[in-house]
Amino acid sequence: MNKLRTDMLNIAIIPGTSRPQALNPQIVSWAKDQLAGREDVRAEVVDFADFDLPLLDEVIPAGANMYQSDHTKAWGAKLAEFDAFIFVTPEYNHSISGSLKNALDFVATEFNHKVAGIVNYGADKGVRAAEHLRHILANYKLAVVRDQASFSLFTDVADGTFAPTDVSAAPFASMLTDLVSWGEALKSVREDSASEEQAA
């Protein structure tokens, strides 16, 4: 496993659905492109679909950090590498996808005292999915920045191709600014928390 640089903010971009032929990969790729060329961040797409997660099969709740299955251990270990996360979520039935919720239910402490940003999309720009996701992420002691990029299937997609308008895309920049500043600040919080645990 490659060791990530500690002088950069390591960001995982997490696709929000496992649905075949979804628009999601295009928006994930766009989000990663927005981070290209920056010297203060390192971005990697981390897809829960690559970890072959079944419907939640852990006997012990995730907060105990006593994973039994290899797929859970691998998923948790990968998330633990990162300082920050960008979730790219569609809106399904006024919420996030069931596959994303299932993936999140496997883990817990890997998100503690870190930061997240949200990119959401749907017929109504996916804003209800984003609000539901904020509630879920708060349970992980995961700070979510205020600004989010919200895209409409009617104005930001043309013939199945993601083509964001400037107005819709603009909030991504301010989201990223906060993501980086909060992410750097929270590194010290995690260090203090680790020191307290060792002293206990």
- The CATH class given to the 9-199 domain equals alpha beta
Q: Give the C-alpha separation, 30 to 35, whole Å.
A: 9
Q: Give the C-alpha separation, 197 to 199, whole Å.
A: 5
- Say how far residue 93 (Cα) sits from the centre of its chain: 20
0.85 surpassed by pTM: yes
Tens digits of per-residue pLDDT, 163-200?
A: 999 999 999 999 999 999 999 999 999 988 776 766 65
Q: Give the C-alpha separation, 193 to 64, whole Å.
A: 17
- Say how far residue 41 (Cα) sits from the centre of its chain: 15
Q: What is the pLDDT of residue 10?
A: 98
Beta strands, E only, the chain: 9-15, 41-45, 84-90, 114-122, 142-144, 149-152, 157-158, 161-162
Residue type, 134: R
Is the pLDDT at 116 greater than 90? The verdict is yes
What is residue 165's three-state secondary structure? coil
Q: Give the C-alpha separation, 3 to 149, whole Å.
A: 30
Tens digits of per-residue pLDDT, 50-85?
A: 999 999 999 999 999 999 999 999 999 999 999 999
